[in-house]
Structure formats: C-alpha cells, structure tokens
Structure 1
Amino acid sequence: MSRIGVGLMAAALLVYLAVAVWLAVMFFAVGTPVSIGMGIALIVLAPIGAWALVREMQFGFSADRLGRTLDAEGGMPPVETELTPSGRIARADADALIARYSAEADAAPEDWRARYRLGVVQDASGRRKDARASIRQAIRLARS
C-alpha cells in the first residue's frame, strides 16, 4: 500500500515539475520585471522541492528496508509497556525505555540494529526528530 503512495507522489512530482516549468516559461513570455522574477523563482524553487521529496523517499525506502531486515531477524524491540490509545508509549515509561535503548546503542556504536531499535522506541515515544536522527544514523551504519 505504501508503495502505491510513493508511486503517486512520484507522479505528482513529475506533474508539479512540468507545470512549474510551463508557468516559468509563461512568466518569462510576459516580459515584465515582476513576471521574470516569478519565472526565475519557479525555475529555482521547483528543483529544490523535487530534491527534498526525493531525499525523503530515499530515507523512507532505506528505513523500511532496515526495518524489514530487523523484523525478519527477530530484532525489533518488543512492546514492554502499556500503550496510549494513540499507540504511543506512555510518557511515564518512555524516558526509562529510551535511556535503556540509548545505552545499548552507545555500547555498540557500529551496530545499526541497536541504533534502529533506539529510533523505533523514540518514535513510539513521540520523539520524531530524535527518532529520525537515530534511523538516519542506522542507515549510514548499515551502508558502511
């Protein structure tokens, strides 16, 4: 199902780039300073947006691949505590779990599995920014 979503996002990206280039050409054709400025902005900003989307898609594919590998090995962290109705780890339990998985990741700095498990626990605790950083590090470790 998520692959269909990624395919739709890629198609939307192509449509966006085509429309942005078409609009930029139309703005250039008008020839006023404001329209030329808007055309330049479209030519500059469209590839930046495309680059950001491609990077996020690469992150998602890499994280998914590592997650499937770790799950197949039986290495995903077990649910050790009560979850909130939204599926998150209860705030009272989150700090202790994060500290434990962080200590495991620090004890094995070259092990992508430990870093990925930390990211999973951080994400389940609602700490998205920290989770993404941990999973990015796991991806870098898995590549080396």
Structure 2
Amino acid sequence: MRAKITYFITAAVLAVYFVLAGGRGLALIRIGTPLTVVFGVMVLILPVIGIWFLWKNTQFVKKAHRLSSELEAEGGLPVDELERDRYGRILRDSADEVFARRKAETEDAPGDWRTWFRLAVAYHDARDTPRARKAMQRAIALYDKKPVRAA
C-alpha cells in the first residue's frame, strides 16, 4: 500500500510539473523571437518525454499487478523466506540463496511466465532493480503470449 501511495504522489507531482513547464514553454513561444521560440520548444519537449515515461511506467505496473493477482489466485506467489537483520534489512546470503533457486527454476522452465515473475522478485530482493525490471518485462511478454483457454 505504501508503494501505491508513493507512486500516486510522485505521479501527481510530475503532472503539476508538466503543466507548469508546459505553460512556461508556451509563454516563451508567444514572445516570438527566434531564441525564445527555440527555448520554448525545448521546454515543451521535457513534459512530452515525462508524460510518455509516466504512461509506460503506469502500464508496466498495471501489467505486473495483473500477473501478481493471477499468481496469487493460483497460490504461486513466492513466500518471503528471507532472513533479515535486526533492522529488517534482507541479509545478502539469504537473498543469494533464494535467487539461486529462482534462477534454476527459471532455467528449467524458461517459457513459463510464473518462473520469470518469481525471478523478478528474487532480483528485487537482491537489490538488482534493472534485472528485476527486465525479468518482469519477460514475464509480462510470456503472459501476453499465453494461449487463451476456451470457456
């Protein structure tokens, strides 16, 4: 729940920034000199890139949540079996041990989105966010390609 609140606050702050930056860009363009028009266009590019990034990230989060919900319904979500220090931080050796199992599981079934999802969680627990994201993207791609069952 904390992650959702943080995400929505960040998205709201970015939206306000995009509106403010867009307004400044339009104001520069309205001045009409070649220099201010160039600066205005450059300022407008930032909100466009930001909106695109926010949209793609939101789609990623929605798809990952959909996979999580389905895996939970199947009873296949990874169980938190990680050892922690007295401050609640995951111990590196524990994360490495779980990661090794998840990696072997994924190597045994490389076409199963479920194993990639669990590997993404293991990467995240090992604090390797770029690889966690790539593994989750692979899980989403495999999930989207799965055959639709007849009702």
TM-score (norm 1): 0.83
Deviation at 1:130, TM superposition (A): 1.3
Percent of paired sites with the same residue: 35
CA deviation vs aligned residue, 1:52-83 (integer Å, no higher than 9, x gap): 01111111111112112212211112233312
Q: CA RMSD in A?
A: 2.3
Aligned-partner Cα distance in 2 for 1:21–1:123: 35
Corresponding position: 1:68 with 2:76 = no
Q: Conserved in 1, the CA contact under 8 Å of 2:28 and 2:36?
A: yes
**2:133 corresponding residue in structure 1:** 132
Aligned-partner Cα distance in 2 for 1:86–1:60: 25
Q: Conserved in 2, the CA contact under 8 Å of 1:116 and 1:135?
A: yes
**2:123 corresponding residue in structure 1:** 122
Q: Name which of structure 1's ranges 1-10 and 23-32 shifts more when overlaid on structure 2.
A: 1-10
**2:104 corresponding residue in structure 1:** 103
* 5+ residue gaps, structure 1: none
Q: Conserved in 2, the CA contact under 8 Å of 1:104 and 1:114?
A: yes
| Greater RCO structure (CA 8 Å; 6+ sep) | 1
CA gap of 1:77–1:62, structure 2 versus 1, over 3 A, is same
User: Matches of residues 1-144 of structure 1 in structure 2 within 5 Å?
Assistant: 12=13, 14-84=15-85, 85-88=87-90, 90-144=91-145
TM-score (norm 2): 0.80
